[in-house]
Amino acid sequence: MQRNNDALVVLGILFFFNILAWIAVYDLSQPRFLEVTFFDVGQGDSIFIETPQGHQILIDGGPSSIILEKLAEEMPFWDRTIDLIILTHPEHDHLAGLLQVLERYKVDYILWTGIVRDTNENKEWRKLIEEEGAEIKIVQAGQEIRLGEGIYFDILNPFENLEGKEFKNSNNTSIISLLVFNQNSFLFTGDAYKSVEKKIIGADANLKTDVLKVGHHGSKTSTSEEFIEQILPKIAVISVGKSNRYGHPHQETLAILKEYGIRVLRTDEEGDIKIISDGANLKIK
Among 35, 40, 83, 93, binds Zn ion (CB under 5 A): 93
- Over the window 132 to 171, marking each residue x when it contacts Zn ion by CB under 5 A and - when it does not, the resulting string is ----------------------------------------
CB of residue 183 to Zn ion, shortest distance in Å: 30
Which 234-253 positions form the footprint of Zn ion (CB under 5 A)?
A: none
Look at residue 248 and give its three-state secondary structure. Answer: coil
Q: How far is the CB of 218 from Zn ion (least distance, A)?
A: 11
Pick the closer one to Zn ion by CB: 108 or 191.
Answer: 191
Quote the DSSP letter at residue 24.
H
**H-helix or E-strand spanning residue 85:** strand 81-86
Q: Burial level of 53, CB count in 10 A (0-12/13-18/19+)? A: middle
What's phi and psi for 225, nearest 5 deg? -65, -40
Closer to Zn ion by Cβ: residue 191 or 268 = 191
Task: Count CA atoms closer than 13 A to 258's CA, side-chain side.
Answer: 6
**Shortest reach from residue 166's CB to Zn ion, in Å:** 19
As beta bridge partners, residue 237 has 213, 265
Point out which residues pair with 264 in neighbouring strands: 236
Of the pair 245, 285, the CB lying nearest Zn ion is at 245
Question: Given the complex with Zn ion, which of 50 and 93 has the nearer CB atom?
Answer: 93
Amino acid at 115: I
- Which residues touch 232 (CB under 8 Å, ≥6 apart)? 208, 209, 260, 262
Question: Which stretch, 93-101, 219-227, 238-246, 273-281, contacts Zn ion (CB under 5 A)?
Answer: 93-101
Following CA atoms 97, 99, 104, 109 in sequence, which dihedral angle do they give, to the nearest 10 degrees? 100
Selected range binding Zn ion among 137-145, 186-194, 231-239, 271-279, rule: CB under 5 A:
186-194
Q: Does 60 bind Zn ion (CB under 5 A)?
A: no
CB of 91 to Zn ion, least distance (A): 6
CB within 8 Å of 147: residues ≥ 6 apart: 11, 15, 51, 53, 55, 57, 153
* Size, binding site for Zn ion by CB under 5 A: 2
Of residues 35, 191, 210, 268, which one binds Zn ion by CB under 5 A? 191
Give least dist CB 45 to Zn ion, A.
Answer: 6
- Residue 63 CB, nearest distance to Zn ion (Å)? 9
Among the listed ranges 46-54, 191-199, 238-246, 274-282, the one in contact with Zn ion (CB under 5 A) is 191-199
Q: What are phi and psi of 138, to 5 degrees?
A: -90, 120
Crossing angle for the helix pair 92-104 and 120-132, nearest 10 degrees?
A: 30
Output the smallest distance, CB 33 to Zn ion, in A: 28
| Contact stretch for Zn ion (CB under 5 A) within 22-30, 184-192, 201-209, 248-256 | 184-192
Q: Determine phi and psi for 49, rounding to 5 degrees.
A: -125, 130
Strand-pair partners of 211: 186, 235
Measure the CA–CA gap between 29 and 175, rounded to whole angstroms: 36
Residues near Zn ion (CB under 5 A) are 93, 191
